[in-house]
């Protein structure tokens, strides 16, 4: 089944539609011709990253079951991108808040089952993987089976792993067609770039721009900079969401780039984009997550003959340009 076979009149529901990935998903659904889209978020619409007048933009708290029932009423497909989350600085210091997102997915699943929704997508995370497999910067890319035996990221990762299982059992016991992707560090324009919830790519772009504009020419890096990651550009993430949602594979799949980079390497990429070199200092007691992590894409390639392809250099250029614009816009506003 391919999403292009769907009727443009099908009602598409995006939970977390005011967020980074949810906003891009709404934009992509519009671009595919869907005429009935409902986006829901707890934030006031003025704080959404992308707002479209032809979309039903609703503000409600999806931790509540009645709100979830209203949200999915009449829906053909539900995409759950809603969660209380952020970068390492947020998730390491707000474990209980992260775990409370379990209410969102649980209540959305119950409502979707009762509303006879035909597809339910859940956004899981690479944070479900066993921490013991991520001790070294010299990583062995993570395969889907490496989530078990379970020892995920405390708080946030446990919630994701539990919610994945909830999706599995709603499929097995109630016949709800659930699909799950494990995102690996998604980045791009129209996302959080300051305020404490931002992730490494956006934080580094902002710090480099700040250094360049202030003439300070110094940057503080969290950890020793040798920790390794892969980063997935938002367009690849959105394409993967559609493949997984409408595909036949019912198991959770990695949705991530496998271009491995150290945080120092990422800083060098952004310096090259900005055309400057900065003096680096290292904040060794800052939250930095696991030492190394990469995505093994064997499974998604075998299922969909596809994997993310945007290079980090290209994706970071587009992200930098957007953050630069935001930064300058803010700087030009009266204090």
SS3 231: coil
State the nearest-atom distance from the C-beta of 127 to ligand NAD, in Å.
7
Q: What part of residues 264-303 is at the interface with ligand NAD (CB under 6 A)?
A: none
Using CB under 6 A as the binding rule, whether residue 186 contacts ligand NAD is answered as yes
d(CA 318, CA 321): 5
Using CB under 6 A as the binding rule, whether residue 82 contacts ligand NAD is answered as yes
Is the CB of 67 or the CB of 221 nearer to ligand NAD?
Answer: 67
Contacts by 266-272, CB closer than 8 A, 24 or more apart: 266/200, 266/201, 266/204, 266/229, 266/231, 266/312, 266/316, 267/204, 267/208, 267/219, 267/221, 267/225, 269/312, 269/313, 269/316, 270/204, 270/205, 270/208, 270/316, 270/320, 271/208
Is the CB of 63 or the CB of 274 nearer to ligand NAD?
Answer: 63
Using CB under 6 A as the binding rule, whether residue 235 contacts ligand NAD is answered as no
Using CB under 6 A as the binding rule, whether residue 20 contacts ligand NAD is answered as yes
> How is residue 332 written in tokens?
């030009």
Using CB under 6 A as the binding rule, whether residue 41 contacts ligand NAD is answered as yes
d(CA 192, CA 317): 16
Using CB under 6 A as the binding rule, whether residue 108 contacts ligand NAD is answered as no
Instruction: Give the pairing type, strands 260-262 and 228-230.
Output: antiparallel
Query: Residue 333 carries which DSSP code?
Result: S
Using CB under 6 A as the binding rule, whether residue 323 contacts ligand NAD is answered as no
Distances (CA, A) of 42 to 36, 57, 76, 194, 261: 20, 11, 22, 19, 34
How would you classify residue 58: left for phi > 0, otherwise alpha for psi between -120 and 50, otherwise beta?
beta
Give the HSE-up count for residue 18: Cα atoms under 13 Å, Cβ half-sphere: 18
Is the CB of 177 or the CB of 241 nearer to ligand NAD?
Answer: 241
Verify whether residue 122 is a known catalytic residue.
no
Using CB under 6 A as the binding rule, whether residue 10 contacts ligand NAD is answered as no
State the nearest-atom distance from the C-beta of 205 to ligand NAD, in Å.
15
Residue nearest ligand NAD, Cβ-based? 19
Is the CB of 26 or the CB of 278 nearer to ligand NAD?
Answer: 26
CA angle 133, 139, 145 (to 5 degrees): 45
State the nearest-atom distance from the C-beta of 7 to ligand NAD, in Å.
26
State the nearest-atom distance from the C-beta of 53 to ligand NAD, in Å.
19
φ and ψ of 265, to 5 deg: -65, -40
User: Contact with ligand NAD (CB under 6 A): which of 88, 123, 176, 211?
Assistant: 123
Catalytic option among 34, 156, 320, 324: 156
Using CB under 6 A as the binding rule, whether residue 185 contacts ligand NAD is answered as yes
Q: How many residues bind ligand NAD (CB under 6 A)?
A: 25
> How is residue 101 written in tokens?
């997102």
| 145 to 184: interface string for ligand NAD, x by CB under 6 A | --------------------------------------x-
State the nearest-atom distance from the C-beta of 236 to ligand NAD, in Å.
12
Using CB under 6 A as the binding rule, whether residue 16 contacts ligand NAD is answered as yes
Closest CA to 118 of 82, 78, 80: 78
Using CB under 6 A as the binding rule, whether residue 61 contacts ligand NAD is answered as yes
Active site residues: 156
Residue ranges in contact with ligand NAD by CB under 6 A: 16, 18-22, 41-43, 61-63, 81-85, 104, 123, 125, 183, 185-186, 192, 199
């Amino acid at each position: 089944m391919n999403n292009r076979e769907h009727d443009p009149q099908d009602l598409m529901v995006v939970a977390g539609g005011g967020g980074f990935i949810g906003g891009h998903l709404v934009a992509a659904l519009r671009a595919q011709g869907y005429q009935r889209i409902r986006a829901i978020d707890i934030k006031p619409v003025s704080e959404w990253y992308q707002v479209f007048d032809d979309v039903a933009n609703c503000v409600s708290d999806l931790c509540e079951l009645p709100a979830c029932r209203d949200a999915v009423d009449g829906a053909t497909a539900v995409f759950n991108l809603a969660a209380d989350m952020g970068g390492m600085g947020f998730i390491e210091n707000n474990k209980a808040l992260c775990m409370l997102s379990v209410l969102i997915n649980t209540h959305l699943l119950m409502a979707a089952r009762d509303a006879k929704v035909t597809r339910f997508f859940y956004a899981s995370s690479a944070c479900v993987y066993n921490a013991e497999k991520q001790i070294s910067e010299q990583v062995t890319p993570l395969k889907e089976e490496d989530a078990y035996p379970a020892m995920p990221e405390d708080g946030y990762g446990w919630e994701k792993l539990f919610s994945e299982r909830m999706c599995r059992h709603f499929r097995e016991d109630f016949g709800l067609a659930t699909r799950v992707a494990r995102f690996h560090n998604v980045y791009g324009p129209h996302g959080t770039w300051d305020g404490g919830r931002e992730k490494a790519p956006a934080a580094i772009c902002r710090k480099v721009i700040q250094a360049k504009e202030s003439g300070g020419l110094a940057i503080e890096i969290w950890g020793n900079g040798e920790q390794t990651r892969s980063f997935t550009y938002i367009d690849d993430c959105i394409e993967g969401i559609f493949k997984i949602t409408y595909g036949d594979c019912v198991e959770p799949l990695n949705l991530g780039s496998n271009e491995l980079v150290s945080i120092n390497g990422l800083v060098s990429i952004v310096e090259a984009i900005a055309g400057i070199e900065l003096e680096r200092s290292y904040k060794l007691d800052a939250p930095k997550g696991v030492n190394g992590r990469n995505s093994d894409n064997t499974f998604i390639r075998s299922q969909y003959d596809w994997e993310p392809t945007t290079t980090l250099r290209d994706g970071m250029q587009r992200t930098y340009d957007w953050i630069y614009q935001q930064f300058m816009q803010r700087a030009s506003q009266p204090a």
